[in-house]
Structure 1
Amino acid sequence: MRKIQTLGHGMLVVALAAAVAAPLTLTACGGGASEPQADAETAPEEQAQEAEPEEAPQSKYAVTIDGSTVTTDYEGNPAMIIDFSFTNNSDEATSFAVACSQKAFQNGVQLETAIVMDDLGNGYMAEIKPGATTQARLAFSLADESDVTVEVSELFSLDDTILAEATFSVA
C-alpha cells in the first residue's frame, strides 16, 4: 500500500511539473518576445513613423448644407426647409436618406421633421451612383424663433463624425 501512495505522489509531482513547463515551452517556441525587441533596437525610425497620428478615414459621402428657408407646415405651424448637396463617394449606389443622418436642433433639442406643402423634390430618397451628386431638401418643425443648428453624419458609423454642420437664423 505504501508503494501505491508513493506512486500516486510521484504522478502528482510529474503532472504539476508538466503543467508548469508546458506554457514555458510554448512561449519559447513562439519567439514573440525576442522579435519585437530586435525590431525596436534596429529600427527606431520606423517606430517614430508609426507613432504619428493617422489621418481620420475619409468618409464615403460628401455633404454640404447650402441654405434654409422659413415656411409653414401643412397645419400652418412654422417650419424650416434645409437645402443639402450630397455626393456619393462610396462604391455602391445609395441615397441621402440611407447614407446619412440629418438632425436639426433648437436650444439643444432635436427638432421633428415637418410635412410642408412646398416641393422638396426627390433628392432625399433618390438613389445615386458612385461619384454622382444630388440636391436634397428636408423640412423641420420649429419650436420657437431661436437659431437652428443642422448636423449631418454618416448613418452607419462607429465614430459619429459630423460631415457637415451649419446654423441658421429663424428671424
Structure 2
Amino acid sequence: MIDSIWLLAVEAAEAAEEGGGLFDLDATLPLMAVQFILLAVILNAIFYKPLGKAIDERDSYVRNNKVDAQERLAKAEQLAKQYEQELADSRRKVQSVIADAQESAQKMAAKTIAEAQQEAQAQREQVQRELDEQKQAALGTLQQQVDDLSRQILDKLLSSIAA
C-alpha cells in the first residue's frame, strides 16, 4: 500500500515537471469557475427553488395547523371548565333536591306515625270504653245475682227461724 502511494506521488511529480500539473493556471481555471456557477444556477432553478418552496409551504401548513390546534385546545379547555362548573352546579342542585326529598319523606313519615298513634289511641280508648261498659254490665248483673242470692238466703234464714 505504501508502495502504491509512493508511485502516485512520483507520477504526480513527473507530471508537474512536464507542465499541466495539479494546479495549472491557464484558461481552464476561469472555464471551470463559469461551469461551476452555471451548474449552481441550474441546480438552484431546477432543484433548490422548488424544494425550498415545498419546504416553505410545508412549514406554513404546519404553522397554521399548530395555531389551529392551539385554538382548538384552548376552546376544549374552556369547554371542559364550563362543563365542570355545570356539573358542580348540577351536583349541588341534586343534593338540594335529595335533601328536600328526605325532609319531605321524614315529614310524611312523622305525619303517618302521628296518625297511626292517634288511631291506635282512639282504638285503645274505644276498647277501654267497651271494657268499662262490659264491666258495668257484668257488675250490674252480678249485683242483681247477689241481691237475689241475698234474698234467698234471707228467706231461708227467716223460714228456718220461723219454723
> Where on the TM-score scale, by shorter chain, does this alignment land: which range?
under 0.3
**Higher relative contact order, structure no. (Cα contacts within 8 Å, ≥ 6 residues apart):** 1
TM-score norm. by structure 1 comes to 0.23
Q: Which of structures 1 and 2 has the bigger CA Rg?
A: 2
TM-score norm. by structure 2 comes to 0.24
| Higher fraction of strand | 1
